[in-house]
Amino acid sequence: MSEPLVLGIETSCDETAVGIVKGRKLLANVIASSVEEHARFGGVVPEVASRAHLEAMPATIQQALDISGVKLKDVDAIAVTAGPGLVGALLVGVSAANGLALALEKPLYGVNHLASHVAVDLLTHEEEIRPTIALLVSGGHSSILQVSDITSDIKSLGQSIDDAAGEAFDKIARLLQLGFPGGPLIDKEAKSGKVDAISFPRGLTNAKDLAEHEFDFSFSGLKTAVSRYLQATPEFVRADVAASFQEAIVDVLLQKSIKACLQTGIDSLVIAGGVAANSRLRTVAQQRCAKAGIELRTPPPALCTDNGAMVAALGSLAVAAGRPASSLGLEAASAISPSIPIWA
C-alpha cells in the first residue's frame, strides 16, 4: 500500500493530539492542550494530564475526521504513541487506539514517540529521510539518535542523564518569574539579551566527561549555576541571563549532534521535538551545519511540539514498508528504548 490512510493518536504528555495522514500528505492535525491546567503548578501533573486526555479524546478524534473529510471506516490503520511518556497519559491514547482498531477491524501500530518526531519531517519535505543523525529535544527527552531506517533501524547514541533540555527551560523560566511553559518565554526574553553576557557551564563537554558520556547531556550543573548567579547578583539583567542560559544549551546540543554526524560519516541532521522550535537553536544550527557541510532538516515549529500528525506519519511509513502490526491489547510503556520504533 503506497499511500495508506492512517489516524494517529498522541497522549504522551499534556497534549491530546490526533492526526490523519494519507501517505505523506497531512489531512488533519488537531491538538487539545491542557497546558493552562498545569501552569499554576509550574510543570505537568500526570493525574491532571490523564484526566484531560479522557475528556478531550472523543471530540479531538471527531474534529480531525471533520477537518480531513475522512470517515472512520475508510481508515487503513490506527497508530498510537505507546511510549515513552507519562504512563497514565499514554494509557488513555493506547486504550482509545485499541478500541478503535478492534471495532473497525483495522491494524494497530504502537509507535515510539521519539521516532515519530523524526518521521514528521517527511510531511514537509519531498526527499526521503536518508541515513541521518537526529537530535530530539523536548520537555521530556534530549537524545541523539542514529537513524538508518525510520521504521526498523534506530540506534541511540546518547541522551540526557538528568533533566531534559525542555525541563531546564521550564525551571529557569520559573526562577526568572517568566511563567510556564518556559521554552517560548525564555526564547522571547533572550532576543533582547546578550548571549555572551554571562559564561555559564557547558555540561559533559570536558575531556574526562566526554570519555564516558560522549553524546550524553547534563543540564543540572547549568541550572545550579544560573540559580547561584541570580542569588549572587540581585541587580541581574533578566534578558542577559535568559540569552546566556539559552546559548549554553544550544551550544552543547549542537556541539554533540554535529560531532555525531562527523564521527559516523553521516552528513544529515534532523532536529525535532518541542525545543526544536527555539529560534536561537534553529539559527545557530543553520550556521554550524553549513560550516560543517551537513544537511539540516527541521520541521516547521507547529510540528515540533507533540502532535498526532507525527504518529500518523510514522504509522503510514510502517504500513507502506510492510512492517508487522502490533497485537490488539497493546500496552503503554513509559520508558521504551528509542532503538525500537515499532512493536509487533
Looking at residue 10, its pLDDT comes to 97
What class does CATH assign to 130-298?
A: alpha beta
The strand pair at 132-137 and 268-272 is best described as parallel
Single-letter amino acid, residue 277: A
Per the confidence metrics, is the pTM higher than 0.95? no
Buried b (16+ CB within 10 A) or exposed e, 90-121: bbbbbbbbbebbeebebbbbbbbbbbbbbbbb
Cite the residue boundaries of each domain of the chain with CATH code 3.30.420.40: 5-122+304-343, 130-298
142-184, pLDDT tens digit by residue? 999 999 999 888 999 999 999 899 999 999 999 999 998 999 9
As given in the structure block, the three cell numbers for residue 37 are: 491546567
Residue 344 has a pLDDT of 36
Cβ(77)–Cβ(315) below 8 Å: yes
Cβ(86)–Cβ(12) below 8 Å:
yes
> For the chain, what is the radius of gyration of the CA atoms?
20
Cell of 203: 555540561
Residues in the chain with pLDDT < 70?
1, 35, 38-39, 41, 336-344
The torsion region of residue 30 among left (phi > 0), alpha (psi -120 to 50) and beta comes to: beta
Q: What is the pLDDT of residue 339?
A: 53
CATH 2.70.170.10 is the classification of domain 5-122+304-343:
no
Q: What is the dihedral of CA 100, 50, 18, 327, to 10 degrees?
A: -40
Q: What is the pLDDT at residue 337?
A: 61
Q: What is the pLDDT of residue 126?
A: 78
- The pairing of beta strand 108-112 with beta strand 77-83: parallel
CA distances from 73 to 58, 102, 106, 198, 315 (A): 16, 12, 9, 58, 17
pLDDT digits (tens, 9 = 90+) for 75-127: 999 999 999 999 999 999 999 999 999 999 999 999 999 999 999 998 988 78
Q: What pLDDT is stored for residue 47 in this prediction?
A: 84
3-state helix, strand, coil in the chain (%, to 5): 45, 20, 35
